[in-house]
Amino acid sequence: MKEIGKAEFSNFVDELIADDPREVIGVQAKSTKFAFDPLKSAEDLRLDYDVTILPPKKYFMPQRETLVEYNTNEGMTAVNEVTPRIILGIHPYDLIAIQQMDKVFEETHSDENYLAKRRQSVLVGVNMKNASEWSFAQTMGTATTESGYDLMLTDIGDKYAVEIGSVKGSKLLENVKSELGDVGMEEIEKVRKFKDKLPGKFRDDSAFDPFELPRLLSEYYGKDEFWEENAEDCLSCGTCNLVCPTCYCFDVKDVNDITLTEGERLRTWDGCMLEAFAEVAGDENFREQKAARYRHRYMRKGRYMYNKFGDIACVGCGRCSEQCVPDIADPVDVFNQMKEGTNGI
């Protein structure tokens, strides 16, 4: 573990922006919200934020990307636009979500568009100083992480403690012009105390253990009345899918030029809460009722991904709860209802 003064760290970020050929991304204030965006100055970097509007997965799985271009004279060409990046200020729950996404895009059907972007990225995490009022990361075991980062920062006063997680992270630190110090017992104790205070930053109304969820969801799968009542006010807008760091569903469509001589194949984000998501040929829709879509979302978070990879695909960031207009997307509320309804079973 190393340490770097905050002033020296700001200089380091400015030097990366000026001299490193990679795009430098960081969390910045956007009115009353925060977002990952390209940095123009270290002054814009906010490492004390609570949660960003969208997770950093947008840099590996863009909202809209071209997969193939075609021309009737020249044929088809695979496209993968890869921008090497350094991404600063990723919270532990988002790092864990990225690790889950890595499994999906590598271990099922290897997706080079995603993987090439991941390979060309350096992830710099930061332990949370502030948490969203909706976040229950402590409950989900995602308030801290020991993996998934190239570097991890912890605020210890006038310095950052820097944990090195990979060769890429170690090489990035070679660009620091001021001398990095080795942390002593005092700094290690400050990091420990910082992490010990984390539980008090999160909501504490969760009545469930995350690894109970596969069983609870299995028991509740056929309880139609439960899902219909909870989904009654759902707008089927898909916002909960789009802000989620572990949702990866997409749609692929061909967009042709008016001359029909050239065009492109696009991949765009999609979501299981959207009414048309499960439509197939012949006007059949396998999840026409919003209660079925609502149930599918929770099954995917707490059961399906666990059965496939051993991961609970909810990391407790709270984005879905915060962004849901009718306020019916809160996983804690739904999981608590299931837990309370199965007590004694």
- Cα–Cα distance measured from residue 175 to residue 183, given in angstroms and rounded to the nearest whole number: 19
Q: Is the pLDDT of residue 109 over 90?
A: no
The residues near 234 (Cβ < 8 Å, ≥ 6 apart) are: 273, 290, 293, 294, 326, 328
Nearest to 232 by CA among 224, 240, 221: 224
335, with CB counted inside 10 A (0-12, 13-18, 19+), is buried
With a threshold of 0.85, does the pTM exceed it?
A: yes
The runs of H, that is alpha helices, within the chain are 6-19, 92-103, 112-119, 137-140, 167-173, 185-196, 213-220, 224-231, 239-242, 290-299, 305-309, 319-323, 331-341
At 229, the amino acid letter reads E
Mean pLDDT (whole number) for 293-316: 96
The residues near 172 (Cβ < 8 Å, ≥ 6 apart) are: 86, 122, 124, 150, 151
- The mean pLDDT value of the chain amounts to 94
pLDDT of residue 344: 39
pLDDT of residue 259: 86
Mean pLDDT (whole number) for 323-327: 95
Tokens read off for 259: 């001359």
Sign of CA dihedral 116, 319, 210, 141: positive
Whole-Å CA distances, 284 to 222, 235, 250, 276: 22, 21, 19, 10
> 178 or 180: which carries more pLDDT confidence?
180
| CA angle (285, 291, 296) in 5-degree steps | 75
pLDDT of residue 6: 94
Q: How far is CA 160 from the centre of its chain?
A: 24
- Cα–Cα distance measured from residue 243 to residue 144, given in angstroms and rounded to the nearest whole number: 21
Span 210-239, pLDDT tens digits: 999 999 999 999 999 999 999 999 999 999
pLDDT of residue 343: 53
pLDDT of residue 175: 86
Tokens read off for 77: 């060409």
Q: Is the pLDDT of residue 345 over 70?
A: no
- Cα–Cα distance measured from residue 244 to residue 100, given in angstroms and rounded to the nearest whole number: 12
Span 250-297, pLDDT tens digits: 999 999 989 888 999 999 999 999 999 999 988 899 999 999 999 999
pLDDT of residue 73: 86
Span 146-176, pLDDT tens digits: 999 999 999 999 999 999 999 999 999 998 8
